[in-house]
Amino acid sequence: MTELHVHKRLEFVTDHMYISPGRSRRVLDELVEDLARCSPAYESYRRCLLAMFEHDYDSAITLAYQALEQGHRDESMFIIIHAHMALGFIFDNRKIHDRAFEHYSAVLMYTNSPRALNNIGNLYMLLDRWDTAYGYFLQAEAIIEQAHPRVASIIYANMAECECSAGRIDDAQKHLKRAEEYNSLYRDTTPAFIYNIQALIEMKNDRYPNALNILEQAESRIEQEGMLRYFLDVLRWSAQCHMHVGDHEAAVEKYLKIEELRIKYSNGLRVLSDIESLIDLYTILGRDEEVPKLYVEYRTSVQGHVQERKRQNLENIQAQIRMQESREREERYAQLYTSTKLISEIGREILSTATSGEVLIELRRRLSELFQVDRIAIGIIDGITGRLDYQWESSGSVSAELVSILLNPGDLEQQVIGQCVPVAADLDETLLMIYRTGAYQDIYDETTSVLICPLHINGTVLGVIGVHSFSVQTFTRYEIEMITTVASFIAAAMQNWNRSSKLLMENRELERKTRMDVLTGIGNRFAMERRFSVLAGEQHASVIVAMIDIDDFKEYNDRFGHEQGDVCLRYVTDILASYLDCRGHRLFRYGGDEFLAVLVDLEFSAVRSLLDEVCLAVHRRTGEGLPESSAVTCSIGWHFSEDITDMKDILHAYRMADAALYDAKAQGRNRAAASTDSVSLRTDRL
């Protein structure tokens, strides 16, 4: 089994572990032998998933971190991403929200994951940060096509819950409809989280009996799905509905079920508001004897209860602070990733350019996206004179001529080249005297701050790059490192420009030869197929495919020998090309003594006249040109079409032209015959 297939199977488990747990476990069992041939990271991740099935979260955390460490060692992006997702989910379930946030954010460092964005949004929902949560759901929606249908359905359900919290019930119903549409792509039955939102909308409209009916359907499904959060929502909202309709005993039953589930699935972690609701219900029902039991069970009293609430509020605030700090780290990572990606793109563009002028234009455009850049200048050391030949870009144009600078000890360029270090400086009075007069004045006109970096490779300084600002600017360490990285690309490009130019010419010649028939000098079958693929995307008034065959060429070869046969082929090719390989028409050697021509934008009558003339020219001129003065003739079959839209139409035209060639042979050779479809088309028009 390939690693890609292993990935697909593990992806299946992560997508289905809370929908089809039995099937997911079987998949994990079936993977044991295959994973034995993979990195140990895969087996650690498999065991982590199994531990999550058993709600053994302590073991799952250990195994996930083990998989993560091994994944980093193996540079396995799949394991790194999925281990972070597993850890985020586990800490999320255990209410350790800041740790969950860090792991979900780590996933976003490697991939724009709809699932991770959704889960971070969930965390903000738990903190009643509805606007922030909705922002994450919007980001997830933008890449919804990458998500499993169930994940997409959850994202829209969460968006609907956010809209409910803001009182926008109509918008919530629209999102709920999208959630239901995505769910229908995956399965027929309705999952509990959709029932939840349906019930929430009914509750917002004060239709509590309707909400209860919906929640009963949700509760009948939720235990099968094993998603604790949705189960708790169903039970809590059911309890609230029962309280509104006056069924306090049923409300108590729901809250007790919540506590039972918390002990079973969440290591006994409890929500204080649920305890308060139970106490209120016991008081209403006159079951005062139950209240002390709760106090004992939770090791609190009325006074301690207040203190606990304060403590929990404090913890929530601290969790929010930690989450915000994690968010800021995520944004810094994202900026660094974006900049690194941008620098890599700039590097590829630099290495593919042929001149320093092209580099200047591209650098100004791209670096301006990151910080203030008013001018870019590149100075290259002349290996003979030792002078610095400067070229610069300003306002979108490159200086017409190089300026050659003889370096002096006070020049910043001399310091950069001599010490091979970048220098950032404001132009003080001394520097202004150097840079606003003499040879430098055109380069440094209006410049107030400058960052100069060496262009060096393999210990040799080839020149400098200067980033100019027309206002006072302090270049940050980050910006200096960025320009230094860019400078390394430029230095490599400078070393490779001459070599690359030569290689480019060689590659172009090689490409031309791979598409050229060696004997005749026209396009070969490969070039013909390339022309077909291009033709399928073009618009033409008409397209004509013509098959051409030299008559009785085998007998000619047998009589005069293959060497003279090759001479004959070249002569015939020259004649055909003079008519059929010009003005947008193309001629190809199909094989042996057969040729194929593609003609475009001709009238039916013009095609017939042209191909008749071709037959006549071959017959008349080959007799004069061949050493044996033996006339050669050719037969042509052609197909005329005005509705070529894709490759299928082109292949049909080719087959019809080939059939017409046989007709031309049967009619006595040395002639051009149109396909039956072409003749019918012409007849219809007449």
- Average pLDDT on 491-496 reads 74
Tokens in use for 675?
């396909």
Query: What is the CA 205 to chain-centroid distance, rounded?
Result: 42
Q: Name the band, by pLDDT with cuts 50, 70 and 90, for residue 94.
A: confident
Of the two residues 316 and 659, the one the predictor is more confident about is 659
Strand (E) or helix (H) holding 478? helix 477-514
Residue 299 has pLDDT above 50, yes or no: no
Q: Mean pLDDT: which of 259-273, 425-439, 598-612 is highest?
A: 598-612
Of the ranges 238-247, 317-326, 361-370, 638-647, which one carries the lowest mean pLDDT score?
317-326
* Tens of pLDDT, residues 183-212: 887 665 667 778 788 888 888 888 888 888
- Average pLDDT on 546-560 reads 91
In 359-480, at which residue ranges do the beta strands (DSSP E only) sit?
A: 375-381, 388-394, 397-398, 403-405, 423-426, 449-457, 460-469
Q: What is the pLDDT of residue 186?
A: 67
Residue 167 has pLDDT above 60, yes or no: yes
- Average pLDDT on 440-458 reads 85
- Using the Cα atoms of residue 413, residue 417, residue 418 and residue 423 in order, give the sign of their dihedral: positive
Q: Which of 17, 21, 127, 27 is nearest to 82 (CA)?
A: 17
Residue 311 has pLDDT above 70, yes or no: no
- Using the Cα atoms of residue 351, residue 354, residue 355 and residue 358 in order, give the sign of their dihedral: negative
Residue 684 has pLDDT above 60, yes or no: no
Residue 395 has pLDDT above 80, yes or no: no
Q: How many CA atoms lie within 13 A of 427 on its CB side?
A: 23
Q: What is the pLDDT of residue 304?
A: 46
Q: Name the band, by pLDDT with cuts 50, 70 and 90, for residue 106.
A: confident
Tell me whether strands 460-469 and 449-457 are parallel, antiparallel or unpaired.
Answer: antiparallel
Q: What is the pLDDT of residue 222?
A: 64
Q: What is the pLDDT of residue 614?
A: 94
Q: Is 144 helix (H, G, I), strand (E, B) or coil?
A: helix
* Tens of pLDDT, residues 264-298: 655 444 455 566 677 777 777 777 777 666 655 55
Of the two residues 651 and 354, the one the predictor is more confident about is 651
Residue 500 has pLDDT above 70, yes or no: no
Q: What is the pLDDT of residue 54?
A: 80
Of the ranges 118-127, 169-178, 217-226, which one carries the lowest mean pLDDT score?
217-226
- Using the Cα atoms of residue 452, residue 455, residue 456 and residue 457 in order, give the sign of their dihedral: positive
Of the two residues 333 and 261, the one the predictor is more confident about is 261
Of the two residues 403 and 338, the one the predictor is more confident about is 403
Averaged pLDDT score across all residues of the chain:
80
Q: What is the pLDDT of residue 303?
A: 43
List the domains of the chain with CATH numbers: 1-111 (1.25.40), 113-187 (1.25.40.10), 189-309 (1.25.40.10), 351-505 (3.30.450.40), 525-685 (3.30.70.270)
Residue 375 has pLDDT above 80, yes or no: yes
Q: Name the band, by pLDDT with cuts 50, 70 and 90, for residue 29.
A: confident
